[in-house]
Amino acid sequence: MGQAAKTDSDFAGRWKGELGEGAEKLHIVLTITKLAGGEFSGQLVSVDQNATLPMEKVTLKGDAVRFEVKAVGGLYEGTLNVTRNEFAGTWTQTGVPAQPLRFVRSTEESRAEDNAAPKAPEGPKTKPLTAFLDVVVPIAPTAFQADGKWHMVYELHLNNMDRWDYRLTKVESLSADSEGRSLVAYTGPELEAAMARPGQPGTTEKAKLGAGTVAIVYIWASVNSADGVPKAIRQRLSVKIGTYPEEMTIETAPLAVGRGVIVISPPLRGDHWLAGNGPSNSSGHRRALIPIDGHAAIAQRLAIDWVRLRADGKTFHDDEKDNKNYYAYGTEALAVADGVVTEVKDGIPENIPGENSRAVPITLETVGGNHVILDIGGRHYAFYAHLQPGSLRVKLGDKVRQGQVIGLVGNSGNSTEPHLHFHLEDGNSPLGAEGLPYSLSSFEVVGHGWGWKAADAKEPAEVHKNEIPLEDEVVNFAPNP
């Protein structure tokens, strides 16, 4: 008998792999979907780290498999076998040696299909009166500057209130003026990568909303100058309803765009600070939608994990299990503005550095480790997390001055190594408020990425004023006085 023809559809599905060895082994699950336009999209779940990350640029050319995971600086390249049930190759990640990684098709797929929900009824037969899609923007964007451009960052919460399946084909942000300029548009794999399905991490087609289901679209719109920032924006969504052949278009009411973000001083001094998980549309902080006290918010929308790099590109020397060997450890965390201390937490022991090492169970009380919150006015609260136990220099109710030492950088709470987690938000809660943009008064950009070495430094360094660093930029702050 002849060999069955190979098809791209053989690549779609659920795949399992194991990265690393021994106690550091990570179990990886991929869900790859072939979209209506023939492209692929996917998501990667690191089971042991409880992390779900979008895959970008997923391709199958012949037997060659390739995809990127920009949120962690990852790239995979491999080869699909003849029987289409396995592919093997190499995983590379910024600052980490390349590792072999093999995936096998999950045998759970057939069982999942057997237990699948019943199909939605076919239809509608005639053009619907309207699309019953509820579109909510939980917090309007305020434009901020980064890397010489102006950015508007916000989310769309979508609820399919109909009995038919809905399929989003395009989501676009437009200026609400007479020109109706397109600010950003997502289609195909880009739309899949910009979406999430809360409570349904294994969803293979995030742009397909079953009856009564919810989705999130993470919007990041950029313009080249302050003059290009619109006074208001509106959303245009294209959707197919059930089996009805024509697309329908939804346009939302205008939404005012805020201007004039707060300018603060840096929370640290010194050189070679990497903006880990910093502002981008795919970082872990950007997607951290968490319900607290009955309200879902993204306190970490523009948060940064400040990790300090040595000249050789590493964050530590000698024994990597010793916190004191990390370049960031013991650095002074500074008040970014005059303010009042509204929350303090101390006494949480430090972790041994490592992906799965935590000194205490992680709860809402311990997730930030030893931390401080400052009310700096105008409904802006500065959150400092993972400080050393016993290092806090302030107490509840204290009035602080800009530049005053708050505490020392440590490795407490939900932390893998010594670093400072910092963000601004609109309420006095580590995670139960909405994250806000801001500008740092001044910093220098000297490079980019984990593993950056001092020998790679930009000459001269790029001086940025009244901006916020973007994900994985390496920056210098003013030295200690």
What is the model's pLDDT at position 200?
Answer: 84
Average pLDDT over residues 326-345: 98
What is the model's pLDDT at position 4?
Answer: 41
| 402/338 Cα distance (integer angstroms) | 5
Residue with tokens 């930030």: 368
Structure tokens at 2: 């002849």
What is the model's pLDDT at position 114?
Answer: 39
| 419/370 Cα distance (integer angstroms) | 12
Write the pLDDT tens digit of every residue in 138-178: 999 999 999 999 999 999 999 999 988 999 999 999 999 88
C-beta separation of 256 from 229 below 8 A: no
Helix (H, G, I), strand (E, B) or coil at 434: coil
Write the pLDDT tens digit of every residue in 416-451: 999 999 999 999 999 999 999 999 999 999 999 988
Q: Domain locations in the chain? A: 8-113, 133-256, 263-476
pTM of the full predicted structure?
A: 0.82
- Closest Cα partner for 386 from 356, 349, 354? 349
C-beta separation of 216 from 157 below 8 A: yes
pLDDT of residue 39 exceeding 50 = yes
Residue with tokens 């987690």: 421
Residue with tokens 């759970």: 108
Write the pLDDT tens digit of every residue in 446-470: 999 988 999 988 888 899 999 999 9
The CATH number of the domain covering residues in 8-113: 2.40.128.120
Average pLDDT, the chain: 91
Q: Is 390 exposed, middle or buried (0-12, 13-18, 19+ CB in 10 A)?
A: exposed
C-beta separation of 431 from 407 below 8 A: no
The CATH number of the domain covering residues in 263-476: 2.70.70.10
Average pLDDT over residues 12-20: 92
- Quote the DSSP letter at residue 242: T
pLDDT of residue 5 exceeding 70 = no
| 196/106 Cα distance (integer angstroms) | 22
- Tell me the percentage of the chain whose pLDDT exceeds 90: 76
Element (H, E) at 218: strand 214-223
Write the pLDDT tens digit of every residue in 349-402: 999 999 888 999 999 999 999 999 999 999 999 999 999 999 999 999 999 999
pLDDT of residue 100 exceeding 80 = yes
The CATH number of the domain covering residues in 133-256: 2.60.40.10
